[in-house]
């Protein structure tokens, strides 16, 4: 990576600001999502917008992109006051946006997806040719006639970027672009962004990953609880000082529990294979994995490579004919459902906290019953729910995990993402399971909540449990895991000790380096 | 007129209303809206069509009135589900009940009156060709229109920007909104199109199929049309196959019954459903094709953030 390529190109014409947002206020009901926020961005500048979940970053960029209207405050574009009535108006100004949750249509082709964002009257064949040229030019290879459903997450992001590039944007907004990329794909993205900045395009870059902000951004605006807290030069800050500005207090460092001798195997997958009948799913191929008492094993990988299927296979959401392929505490249980596996003192936390992990319009204590009904401290007796016991469990989770909420037992949907995640992880941890499987334990959660959750996993392992973490967050994996395996296209690499793994090696494994030799060719799409 | 010719002509008349209603509902569903009120829109089309045709003496004005009757009902549905955000399933069911009741009320004074038939288009020479003439060139305007509609809808959905937008809105309304498309407006238009087609199907019943007004004369055809859309994986050409397959088996059953073959009548009347379902399930074996053509947002309400 050529660092010098990323010096701010716009610094010589300090007079010209590209975009200025002055005193933006946005009120949703009681909540002041943006409270007097001001942001200035020059052409050719990569400007970081930092803040925890719920700090108001997304609200601010939606206002800039015209998806939301501010309650008060003004936007200036190249020094002129403007009203951005809708995204089409933003695009007319030259503002492009790459969404965190892509705005793509699975059932349409790459060309069709891009055509939808461009003005009408295009010839589709012409457009396909332009897509090919622009994508090759910027090092973002795309097949115009591919169906989005068949593409990896990294490729989908390329569609979003190419879609913006075709509109020759003056400002590109990127919402957490690297959250879904392998390290190598992220490097490629930084090269593209650097090139755009040198061509004079401004970039507004939202990220949680402070190291990369330090690496590529020229300026940073930090929000907390909807308010502007600082505007800093990220080159002059450390990742820790940026984190402290975001959170407003020191983030507790997680105390690791590494260096213990692991005990007997508690969770085993032996030559496990499972074909999917979902055309957009991923089949699991010949997976071998052992998690021992007293260790955390992490499965890294880019989303959509079989993590959901792997979790379903271990938790019992999918059962197999080959019962001995899944073993909990040494006993074959591939044919058992999730409740039977819970009775074996295993616990499972799925990826989606709302909908899958918790029922949004159930109260927290009712959500406790959903996973504790067959086990635990008698929340169900003689077929009847013991509400007192459920409330007691809820209170215990609240205390252990510092779950913040308005009333003692609100509906699950009333909690913020981080607090609900603490609740769904806490609900299983209070059972002190011998085996815990967590899919994306801290996805989209702020630093404070993430630290609490990670510490809880480590404490559980200290007590002799086996923990399997499936995560896309490599920083998290290196922080807590004893051994790391990588999943790619439904195949799992050998779980190696964390100290033997490097980011580069994981990146190669994510791109399929461990898959059978004859398959490597077709997976080399990260380019 | 030969027996085979007569059978084919009856099959066409039996299949046309199904085809019209189903192709309209297909467009509605492609935009992500499930309108279970097809039966109600159809019967309103039938009564409005008959009433205007009888009063003015013009079957073509009747066809227009049937179309408007269907559109009126569908706009009520659109207002409730898209503007007031009511449940699409409950509203659609109510629309059917409302249509059946309201049409009975409007049609009360028209019951038993002699109907006005929508005449077949007579093309000199061509219609006179034996066998082929009456079948290919002796139909009324709605039959031709139903075939044209399949071609037009196929072209628009898969070859034009309008179709791309409809599919986009039905496939992911949040993305469509983020790109700046007015999801609610697109859905209003698609619901109205579905209503127009159902209205035409109803007008066909009361002006061509049995040219008179009988209460409940749609007798479940709206539900068949709904089922055809789903079993056809939202593909217009399969709707065409499904509608004609259903019509064929149905009419054959009636003939078999009339010939006095000893098959229980109940079995014969359930046969078209069975055959159509089996056939359409068999042709929808390609899961990816089915998945790609299924509107992912179907039935989900959409409320943009403000």
CA atoms within 13 A on the CB side of A382: 0
Residue B145 touches partner A, C-beta closer than 8 Å = no
* Residue B96 or A88, more confident: B96
Alpha-carbon distance of A316 to A312, in angstroms, equals 6
Which band of pLDDT confidence, cut at 50, 70 and 90, is reported for residue A469?
very high
Question: What is the arithmetic mean of pLDDT over A269-286?
Answer: 83
Is the Cβ pair B179, A103 closer than 8 Å? yes
In this complex, which of A67, A108, A120 lies closest to B178 when CB atoms are compared?
A: A67
Q: What is the pLDDT of residue A184?
A: 79
A158-167 pLDDT, tens digit per residue, is 898 898 888 8
Residue A120 touches partner B, C-beta closer than 8 Å = yes
In angstroms, the first-to-last Cα distance of chain B is 65
Question: What is the arithmetic mean of pLDDT over A173-179?
Answer: 83
**How far does the CA of residue B158 sit from the closest CA of chain A (Å)?**
10
B217 burial via Cβ count (<10 Å: 0-12, 13-18, 19+): buried
What residues in A contact B157, CB-CB < 8 Å?
none
Q: What is the pLDDT of residue A77?
A: 94
Domain A3-94+169-247 shares a fold with domain A265-345+433-526: yes
Instruction: Looking at mean pLDDT, say which of A47-56, B172-181, B242-251 comes out highest.
Output: B242-251
Residue A374: C-alpha distances to residues A301, A336, A381, B171 (Å): 33, 14, 10, 39
**Percentage of the residues of chain A whose pLDDT score is greater than 70:** 91
* Residue B283 or B227, more confident: B227
What are A167's two structure tokens? 């509109």
CA-based torsion, A409, A412, A418, A421: positive or negative: positive
Is the Cβ pair B171, A107 closer than 8 Å? yes
B161 domain-assigned:
yes
Suggest the residue from A34, A105, A278 to mutate for an interface test with chain B (most B CBs closer than 10 A).
Answer: A105
Residue A163 touches partner B, C-beta closer than 8 Å = no
Q: What is the pLDDT of residue B268?
A: 84
Q: What is the pLDDT of residue A260?
A: 66
B305 domain-assigned:
no
**Percentage of the residues of chain B whose pLDDT score is greater than 90:** 65
* Residue A377 or B159, more confident: B159
Q: What is the pLDDT of residue A526?
A: 38
Tell me the count of A-B CB pairs closer than 8 A.
63
Angle at B14 between CA B8 and CA B17, to 5 degrees: 135
DSSP A321-381: S-GGGEEETTEE-TT--HHHHHHTTEEEE-S-TBTTTB-TTSBHHHHHHHHHTTSTTTSEE
In this complex, which of B161, B178, B306 lies closest to A99 when CB atoms are compared?
A: B178
B192: domain range?
A: 2-219
Q: What is the pLDDT of residue A10?
A: 40
What residues in A contact B167, CB-CB < 8 Å?
105, 107-108
Residue B263 touches partner A, C-beta closer than 8 Å = no
In this complex, which of A102, A115, A280 lies closest to B164 when CB atoms are compared?
A: A115
B296 domain-assigned:
no
Suggest the residue from A103, A119, A160 to mutate for an interface test with chain B (most B CBs closer than 10 A).
Answer: A103
What are A268's two structure tokens? 């085993």
Alpha-carbon distance of A243 to A228, in angstroms, equals 15
Is the Cβ pair A277, B287 closer than 8 Å? yes
What residues in A contact B171, CB-CB < 8 Å?
105-108
Q: What is the pLDDT of residue A476?
A: 86
CB atoms within 10 A of CB A199: 11
- Residue in this structure with the two tokens 């001995």, named with its chain if needed: A324
Question: What is the arithmetic mean of pLDDT over A481-503?
Answer: 90
In this complex, which of A69, A86, A108 lies closest to B168 when CB atoms are compared?
A: A108
Q: What is the pLDDT of residue A244?
A: 80
Cβ–Cβ under 8 Å, residues A46 and A217: yes
Is the Cβ pair B287, A86 closer than 8 Å? no
Question: Of all helices (H) and strands (E), which one includes residue B47?
Answer: helix B38-56
Q: What residues does A488 pair with on adjacent strands? A: A491
CATH superfamily name and code, A265-345+433-526: P-loop containing nucleotide triphosphate hydrolases (3.40.50.300)
* Residue B212 or B125, more confident: B212
Alpha-carbon distance of A226 to A60, in angstroms, equals 9
Question: What is the arithmetic mean of pLDDT over B216-239?
Answer: 92
Is the Cβ pair B180, A107 closer than 8 Å? no
Suggest the residue from A31, A84, A100, A107 to mutate for an interface test with chain B (most B CBs closer than 10 A).
Answer: A107
B76 domain-assigned:
yes
Which band of pLDDT confidence, cut at 50, 70 and 90, is reported for residue B54?
very high
A409-429 pLDDT, tens digit per residue, is 998 888 877 889 999 999 999
B246 domain-assigned:
no
Residue A104 touches partner B, C-beta closer than 8 Å = yes
**How far does the CA of residue A164 sit from the closest CA of chain B (Å)?**
11
What are A304's two structure tokens? 């959509």
In this complex, which of A69, A105, A147 lies closest to B175 when CB atoms are compared?
A: A105
Residue A116 touches partner B, C-beta closer than 8 Å = yes
The torsion angles phi and psi of B180, rounded to 5 degrees, stand at 100, 15
State yes or no: pLDDT of B184 exceeds 70: yes
B291 domain-assigned:
no
B289 domain-assigned:
no
The strand ranges marked E within A246-333 are 265-274, 284-292, 295-300, 326-328, 331-332
Residue B293 touches partner A, C-beta closer than 8 Å = yes
Nearest CA in chain A to B166: A116
Q: What is the pLDDT of residue B209?
A: 92
Residue A88 touches partner B, C-beta closer than 8 Å = yes
Contacts with A, B 160-189, CB within 8 Å: 161, 164-165, 167-168, 171-172, 174-176, 178-181
What's the whole-number average pLDDT of chain A?
85
What residues in A contact B176, CB-CB < 8 Å?
103, 105, 116
Which band of pLDDT confidence, cut at 50, 70 and 90, is reported for residue A251?
low
Alpha-carbon distance of B76 to B105, in angstroms, equals 18
What are A308's two structure tokens? 């959901």
CB atoms within 10 A of CB A261: 8
**How far does the CA of residue A99 sit from the closest CA of chain B (Å)?**
9
Least confident residue range of A170-179, A244-253, A299-308, B150-159: A244-253
Q: Could you tell me the residue ranges of all domains in chain A?
A: 3-94+169-247, 265-345+433-526, 355-415
Is the Cβ pair A116, B181 closer than 8 Å? yes
Report the CATH architecture of A3-94+169-247. Answer: 3-Layer(aba) Sandwich (3.40)
State yes or no: pLDDT of A527 exceeds 50: no
What are A511's two structure tokens? 């791109």
Is the Cβ pair A107, B288 closer than 8 Å? no
State ipTM.
Answer: 0.84
Q: Name the pTM for this structure.
A: 0.74
Least confident residue range of A173-177, A367-371, A415-419, B155-159: A415-419
Give the count of domains, chain B: 1
Instruction: Looking at mean pLDDT, say which of A361-365, A452-456, B186-190 comes out highest.
Output: B186-190
**How far does the CA of residue B169 sit from the closest CA of chain A (Å)?**
9
A92-151 pLDDT, tens digit per residue, is 899 998 877 778 898 899 999 999 988 888 888 899 999 999 988 888 888 899 988 878
Residue A102 touches partner B, C-beta closer than 8 Å = yes
Least confident residue range of A377-381, B82-86, B158-162: A377-381
Alpha-carbon distance of A26 to A56, in angstroms, equals 9
B77 domain-assigned:
yes
| Three-state secondary structure call for residue A124 | helix
Question: Of all helices (H) and strands (E), which one includes residue A22?
Answer: strand A19-28
Which band of pLDDT confidence, cut at 50, 70 and 90, is reported for residue A523?
very low
Question: What is the arithmetic mean of pLDDT over A279-287?
Answer: 82
What's the whole-number average pLDDT of chain B?
91
What residues in B contact A91, CB-CB < 8 Å?
180
Q: What is the pLDDT of residue B93?
A: 97
In this complex, which of A62, A116, A279 lies closest to B179 when CB atoms are compared?
A: A116
């Amino acid at each position: 990576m050529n660092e010098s390529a990323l010096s701010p190109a716009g610094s010589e014409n300090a007079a010209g600001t590209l975009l200025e947002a002055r005193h933006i206020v946005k009120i949703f009901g009681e909540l002041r999502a943006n409270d007097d926020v001001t942001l200035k961005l020059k052409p050719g500048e990569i400007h970081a917008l930092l803040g925890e979940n719920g700090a108001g970053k997304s609200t601010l960029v939606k206002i800039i992109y015209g998806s939301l209207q501010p309650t008060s405050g003004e936007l200036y574009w190249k020094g002129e006051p403007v009203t951005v009535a809708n995204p089409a108006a933003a695009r007319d100004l030259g503002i492009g946006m790459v969404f965190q949750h892509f705005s793509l249509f699975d059932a349409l082709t790459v060309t069709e997806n891009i055509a939808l964002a461009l003005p009408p009257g295009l010839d589709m064949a012409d457009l396909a040719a332009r897509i090919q040229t622009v994508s090759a030019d910027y090092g973002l290879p795309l097949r115009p006639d591919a169906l989005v459903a068949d593409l990896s997450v990294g490729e989908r992001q390329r569609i979003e970027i190419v879609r913006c590039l075709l509109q020759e944007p003056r400002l590109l907004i990127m919402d957490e672009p690297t959250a879904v990329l392998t390290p190598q794909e992220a490097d490629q993205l930084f090269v593209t962004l650097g090139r755009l900045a040198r061509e004079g395009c401004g970039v507004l870059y939202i990220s949680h990953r402070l190291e990369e902000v330090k690496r590529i951004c020229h300026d940073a605006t930090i929000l907390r609880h909807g308010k502007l807290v600082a505007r800093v030069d990220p080159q002059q800050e450390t990742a820790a000082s940026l984190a402290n500005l975001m959170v407003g207090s020191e983030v507790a460092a997680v105390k690791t529990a590494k260096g213990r001798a692991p005990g007997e195997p508690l969770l085993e997958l032996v030559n496990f294979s499972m074909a999917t009948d979902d055309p957009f799913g991923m089949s699991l191929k010949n997976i071998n994995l052992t998690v021992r008492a007293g260790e955390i094993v992490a499965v890294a990988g880019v989303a959509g490579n079989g993590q959901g299927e792997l979790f379903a296979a271990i938790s019992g959401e999918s059962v197999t004919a080959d019962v001995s392929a899944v073993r909990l505490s040494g006993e074959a249980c591939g044919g058992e459902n999730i409740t039977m596996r819970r009775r074996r003192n295993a616990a499972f936390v799925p990826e989606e906290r709302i909908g899958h992990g918790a029922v949004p319009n159930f109260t927290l204590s009712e959500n406790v019953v959903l996973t504790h009904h067959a086990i635990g401290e008698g929340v169900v007796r003689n077929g009847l729910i013991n509400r007192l016991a459920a409330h007691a469990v809820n209170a215990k989770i609240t205390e252990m995990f510092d779950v913040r909420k308005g009333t003692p037992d609100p509906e699950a949907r009333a909690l913020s993402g981080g607090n609900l995640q603490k609740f769904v992880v806490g609900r299983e941890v209070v059972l002190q399971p011998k085996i815990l499987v967590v899919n994306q334990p801290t996805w989209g959660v702020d630093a404070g909540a993430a630290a609490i959750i990670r510490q809880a996993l480590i404490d559980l392992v200290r007590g002799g449990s086996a923990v399997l973490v499936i995560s896309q967050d490599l920083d998290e994996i290196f922080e807590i895991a004893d051994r790391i395996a990588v999943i790619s296209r439904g195949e799992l690499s050998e779980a190696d000790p964390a100290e033997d793994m490097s980011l580069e090696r994981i990146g190669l494994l994510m791109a399929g380096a461990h898959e059978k030799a004859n398959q490597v060719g077709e997976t080399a799409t990260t380019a | 007129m030969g027996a085979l010719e007569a059978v084919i002509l009856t099959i066409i008349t039996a299949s046309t209303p199904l085809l019209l209603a189903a192709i309209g509902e297909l467009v509605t569903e492609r935009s992500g809206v499930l309108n279970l009120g097809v039966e109600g829109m159809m019967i309103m089309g039938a009564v409005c069509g008959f009433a205007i045709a009888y009063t003015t003496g013009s079957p073509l004005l009747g066809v227009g009135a049937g179309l408007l009757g269907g559109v009126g009902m569908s706009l009520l549905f659109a207002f409730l589900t898209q503007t007031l955000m009511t449940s699409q399933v409950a509203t659609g069911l109510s629309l059917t009940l409302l249509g059946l009741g309201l049409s009975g009320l409007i049609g009360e004074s028209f019951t038993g009156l002699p109907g006005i038939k929508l005449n077949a288009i007579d093309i000199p020479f061509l219609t006179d060709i034996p066998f082929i003439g009456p079948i290919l060139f002796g139909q009324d305007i709605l039959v031709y229109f139903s075939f044209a509609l399949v071609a037009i809808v196929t072209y628009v959905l898969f070859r034009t920007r309008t179709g791309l937008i409809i599919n986009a809105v039905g496939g992911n309304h949040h993305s469509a909104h983020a790109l700046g498309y007015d999801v609610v407006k697109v859905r209003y238009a698609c619901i109205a199109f579905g209503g127009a087609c159902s209205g035409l199907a109803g007008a066909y019943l009361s002006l061509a199929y049995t040219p008179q007004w009988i209460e409940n004369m749609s007798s479940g055809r709206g539900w068949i049309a709904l089922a055809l859309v789903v079993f056809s994986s939202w593909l217009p050409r399969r709707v065409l196959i499904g509608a004609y397959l259903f019509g064929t088996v149905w009419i054959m059953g009636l003939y078999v019954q009339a010939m006095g073959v000893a098959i229980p009548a109940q079995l014969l009347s359930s046969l078209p459903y069975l055959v159509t379902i089996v056939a359409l399930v068999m042709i929808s074996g390609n899961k990816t094709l089915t998945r790609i053509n299924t509107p992912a947002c179907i039935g989900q309400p959409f409320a943009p953030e403000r």
